[in-house]
Amino acid sequence: MISKDAKIPVKGTRALIFSHLLSQEASAVELKKKLGINESAVRRHLEILENEGMVSHYFERTKVGRPKKLYYVTSYGKEFLPRKTDLLLSMLSRKIVEMYGELALPKLMNSVADELVNNFLKPKANENVDERLKKVVSFFDGLGFVASLSKDEKGYLIVYRNCAFRDAVPALGGKLCEMHSAIVLKTMGGGRMKWEKCIAMGDEICGQRVVLEGKASS
């Protein structure tokens, strides 16, 4: 059955169907027998779950008769299951510090920031500030941060309406936010950055104020 920690966006009969499909792929007929409801109701629930992207189906050939239509939980559906990323990261970060010292974790995070910039955000010689910032925002938006960029008299403001690293925040805390800042500044080639709001600190959004001293925006 589904764990009590799971935040599945379905309930009632659909939650039961989802739970059964997590354990084993099944046809509508098999689900009907397990749940004790009529087949047409099962198919309606399955259609809704498919439309929501929670489950999908494929056809299995049989020796006799028509192929069997089997339903299964999709990768998207499994995203709603409990994860203990924070526990694993907490143990790993503690062991890194124990084995290599207090400076090891910041160095590791900075190295990760360097690799991300070099692989995905390496600045080009002809790129101006606006172009570099737009590239950063597009990168984080693609990771699920729901990022947007604006500019006013104080400089540039990047807003993130989601923290895609939220599960890791309890384990890595401020170090994760520092790595995020480093990625932005390394892409920009310098400047200053200040967190005006931060989801990790309990705010609804993250707001990064970026000031590039002595650099034009075009």
What is the per-residue pLDDT across 123-161, written as a single tens digit (0 to 9) for each?
888 888 899 999 999 999 999 899 999 998 888 999 999
Q: Indicate if the pLDDT at residue 4 is higher than 80.
A: no
pLDDT tens-digit readout, 163-214:
888 778 777 767 888 999 999 999 988 888 899 999 888 888 999 999 876 5
pLDDT of residue 172: 79
- For residue 62, name the pLDDT band (cuts at 50, 70, 90): confident
User: Per-residue pLDDT averaged across 61-77, rounded?
Assistant: 88
From residue 171, how far is each of 55, 83, 154, 165, 200 by CA, in Å?
A: 32, 14, 33, 11, 11
Mention every residue, 6+ apart, whose C-beta is less than 8 A from residue 160: 140, 145, 146, 147, 199, 205, 206, 207, 208
pTM for the model: 0.64
Q: How high is the pLDDT of residue 28? A: 96
What is the sign of the dihedral through the CA atoms of 193, 199, 201 and 204? positive
The model's confidence at residue 217, banded by pLDDT at 50, 70 and 90, is: very low
Could you give the domains of the chain?
12-78 (1.10.10.10), 85-211 (3.30.1380.20)
- Segment (H or E) for 155: strand 155-160
Query: 104: pLDDT confidence band, cut at 50, 70 and 90?
Result: very high
CA distance 98 to 92: 10
Q: CB of 209 within 8 A of CB of 155?
A: yes
The amino acid at residue 85 is T
Q: What are φ and ψ of residue 145, in 5° steps?
A: -80, -10
In this prediction, residue 8 carries a pLDDT of 63
Between CA 8 and CA 51 the distance in angstroms is: 15
Residue 47 confidence (pLDDT) above 60: yes
Query: Which residue's structure tokens are 């084995």?
Result: 99
CA–CA gap between residue 109 and residue 92 (Å, rounded)? 13
